[in-house]
Structure 1
Amino acid sequence: MTRVLIADDHALVRDGLRHILRNADGFEVVGEACDGASAIALVRSQAAEVLVLDLSMPGRNGVELIKQIKDEQPGLRILVLTMHAEQQYAVRAFKAGASGYLTKESASAELVTAVSKVAAGGVYVSLTMAERFAQSLNEPADTLPHQRLSDREFDVFRRIATGQTLGEIANALCVSSKTVSTYKTRIFEKMQMPHEAALVRYALRHKLLGDDEEI
């Protein structure tokens, strides 16, 4: 029996994931969390083989959360389940220690397969994401400006590009507006961008925003 933890800030999503796994043979959902802090507490208190983790919960950046969980529980396999279908998010998640990456639009059809493969020690990538990885092989090898950003800076960069204010970003990430302002300054320096409009154009040109996020 594969013991599974679920971390997602939407109750309906957690209910759906639990229903899918319980109706499949060989899985037991043994705990749930609704934000970054409760996810950390959960993995510390409840033994499991797989954590199904949303990247966009309140609190810590999802990639930073993966790193902390893997540092504390290296044997726990992490399957990312997210609305972000951008290749850059997947790359950062795998580098942080994730074993699988699945978008929510394909979750119901692939979830059982993905959890099974990850639990068995394999790596799972959805077909859509695999195609994007393959396409990226034709891109120039030189480091692009957004690839110089830290995981948190990249998260803030995308939020700025979608039009969120500093206050909105601060609330979403549970940090101060001053901290977000510092991130913004670093982003402009690292990417050598003169203003926000240039940042937005860059994000659109390099397809770093989801279809539902584009300006």
Structure 2
Amino acid sequence: MTEKSTIRVFIADDHAIVREGLKQILAESPDIVVGGEAETGSDAMKLFRKSKCTVLLLDIALPDRSGIDVLKHIRKDHPDAAVLMLSMYREDQYAIRALKAGAAGYLNKQSAPRELVNAIRQVASGQKYVSAALAQELASTVGEDHVQAPHEQLSDREFQTLTMIASGKTVSDIARELSLSVKTISEYRARLLSKMKLKNSAELTHYAIKNQLVE
């Protein structure tokens, strides 16, 4: 296998055990090599450039910032990079949002190792990767009878605020984690409540749990 044909992969996930598991899986493929790793979004954005990797495996839920934010940053600075989003969340809740933001593919962490390797090879070749289930979901969203769910109307930042509130975090917690002001997060909260026609955080949390937007 020549260096030119080897796929260099960067792994961004905050769980060390997940990163080690991914590296073990990829080590069995002679055409794939792990060229770097990070446990936070900030580190991923700084280290990806130095790694000279062409594929980024990016967890959608990082401790310091949204995987969607990191995705947009990486795509802006490295337009040729293929970003494959990884998540424990159901595909129909996050995948379409990730693909619209520039991801080359979306894969559930519970997928089989063979599917991961195939997905990496596919996005590395310049193609998009979607599972059969996601392909069906994408088809339904363009159908004439598709009714947009309330949370699908939210911006990426509003959606992120929704999931963080539903996970039990306060406005102050969210502001600190996202390096934004409490006033800004409060505005996001007010807007998303208005768009979704909900009265308070309790109703928001109930909605998120019912629609499996949080684990």
Both proteins in one fold, TM over 0.5: yes
Question: Hey, what's the Cα distance between the residues in 2 that align with 1:208 and 1:174?
Answer: 26
The structural deviation recorded for 1:202 is: 3.7
Pair 1:209-2:213 in alignment:
yes
Instruction: Calculate the aligned-residue CA RMSD, in Å.
Output: 2.3
Unaligned runs of 5+ in 2: 1-5
Question: Hey, what's the Cα distance between the residues in 1 that align with 2:121 and 2:160?
Answer: 29
Question: Hey, what's the Cα distance between the residues in 1 that align with 2:50 and 2:179?
Answer: 24
Question: Hey, what's the Cα distance between the residues in 2 that align with 1:188 and 1:60?
Answer: 22
After TM superposition, the score normalised by the length of structure 2 is: 0.85
Q: Deviations over 1:125-180 (max 9, x none)?
A: 12343344345556844544322211011011123234433344345434454432
Change (3 A) 1:136 1:203: farther
Could you tell me which of 79, 83, 91 is aligned with 2:88? Answer: 83
Question: Hey, what's the Cα distance between the residues in 1 that align with 2:113 and 2:147?
Answer: 37
Question: Hey, what's the Cα distance between the residues in 2 that align with 1:96 and 1:29?
Answer: 24
Percent of residue pairs identical: 44
Q: Deviations over 1:8-63 (max 9, x none)?
A: 11111111111111111201111111111101001222211111110101222211
Question: Hey, what's the Cα distance between the residues in 1 that align with 2:65 and 2:197?
Answer: 26
Unaligned runs of 5+ in 1: none
Question: 2:56 is paired with a residue of what secondary structure?
Answer: strand
Equivalences for 1:110-189 in 2 at 5 Å? 110-134=115-139, 136=141, 140-141=145-146, 143-189=148-194
Could you tell me which of 42, 53, 58 is aligned with 1:37? Answer: 42
Match of 2:102 in 1: 97
Question: Hey, what's the Cα distance between the residues in 1 that align with 2:90 and 2:31?
Answer: 28
Question: Hey, what's the Cα distance between the residues in 1 that align with 2:9 and 2:165?
Answer: 34
Could you tell me which of 55, 61, 71 is aligned with 2:60? Answer: 55
Q: Deviations over 1:178-201 (max 9, x none)?
A: 432222112112223222343344
Q: Deviations over 1:63-116 (max 9, x none)?
A: 121111111000110111111114131111111111111001115241111101
Is the deviation greater in 113-122 or in 152-161? 152-161
Question: 2:9 is paired with a residue of what secondary structure?
Answer: strand
Pair 1:74-2:79 in alignment:
yes
After TM superposition, the score normalised by the length of structure 1 is: 0.85
Question: 1:209 is paired with a residue of what secondary structure?
Answer: coil
Question: Hey, what's the Cα distance between the residues in 1 that align with 2:173 and 2:91?
Answer: 22
- Give the number of equivalent residue pairs: 210
Question: Hey, what's the Cα distance between the residues in 1 that align with 2:144 and 2:94?
Answer: 17
